[in-house]
Amino acid sequence: MKQEKSQESNSVIHPALSIVIYIIGVILLTVSLSALILPLAQGLLMNQSGKLFYYMVAESCLLVSVVAMACVMLRYVEHRPLSDLGLTWRERWIDACNGLTCACIMLLVGLQTMFILDSVDVVRIRFYPVDFFVSWFFFAMVAFAEEIMVRGFILGHLLRTRMNKFLALLLSSLVFAAGHLFNPDIAFLPMVNLVLAGLLLGASYLYERNLWFPISFHLFWNWVQGPVMGYDVSGNRFGKTLLTLHYPESDYINGGAFGFEGSIVCTVLLIVVTAGIIWHYEMEQRVTL
């Protein structure tokens, strides 16, 4: 099994303290960058595509903060290699392909299920090239920022403690869900699904210590769900979409205003796929023993 061992830290700082310092640093740096840069992008809110560009500028502030703080903490505080984040690409292209495939299959199964249950209809198909491709880059930044922070740094550090790996996975998933607390139309079921999404995104990292599966899954989960299929993504709409969906009524099956991630269909899929990932790696470990 492919698994990259982290080098031992030469720092006396406890991993839990590193996490606290890292999160505070990311928040302060993001707020500072946003205060400097976002006012310059306010004029781009004249139309929907401009709004999407504005979101990209805001997300770039977070991505820069996440990467910069990770570099500072690992290299200068903990004296550890940046490769400990799990971004090494060598022989990992298959992980990225698996993430793409898994996300697309889950979303297609979910949409088909809603069709069968008469919970959603497609009323229009129209291609908007600018929104379609710009949104891909936006969701790529989202995936890199959130996966480096939550899985690469937070979960990675929790796994360096004596904490049970599944408890570490749960705690990192709760942090991931907490980052969406102020999303539009947030409710109990969407929060449950966000925690479950965190479990799925971190499941492979428990065994591989590599981010390419969760980054790829996260990117295509958001992009296919929103700009392609026409759902709101975690309660937000980022530009025009390929499919325009109509809900006969907003309910727990179609997710209503929060989108696919607010649906019970999503809940079932997340549980099944996460269990499958963990079962696969546990069986693989038993074979290698």
Q: What is the DSSP string of 202-262?
A: HHTHHHH--SHHHHHHHHHHHHIIIIIT---BTTB--S--SEEEE-SS--TTT-GGG-GGG
Q: For residues 117 and 120, what is the distance between their CA atoms, to the nearest angstrom?
A: 8
pTM: 0.92
pLDDT band with cut points at 50, 70 and 90 for residue 54 = confident
96: left (phi over 0), alpha (psi -120 to 50) or beta: alpha
Position 3 scores a pLDDT of 45
Q: Which amino acid is at 199?
A: L
* DSSP bridge partners of 122: 245
pLDDT, average across residues 246-256: 91
Band of the pLDDT at 179, cuts 50, 70, 90? very high
Local confidence band at 27 (pLDDT 50, 70, 90 cut-offs): very high
In terms of Cβ atoms closer than 10 Å to its own Cβ (0-12, 13-18, 19+), residue 164 is: exposed
- Tens digit of each residue's pLDDT (9 = 90 or more) over 235-246: 998 888 999 999
Average pLDDT in the 187-212 region? 97
Q: What is the mean pLDDT of residues 85-94?
A: 90
Rounded-to-integer distance, Cα 8 and Cα 37, Å: 38
Q: What percent of the chain has pLDDT over 70?
A: 93
Average pLDDT over residues 3-28: 77
Token pair belonging to 2: 């492919």
Mean pLDDT, rounded, for 120-134: 92
* Long-range pairs for 57-62: beta carbons < 8 A, 24 or more residues apart: 58/34, 59/138, 59/141, 59/142, 59/145, 60/141, 61/30, 61/33, 61/34, 61/37, 62/26, 62/30, 62/141, 62/145
* pLDDT level of residue 289 (50, 70, 90 thresholds): low
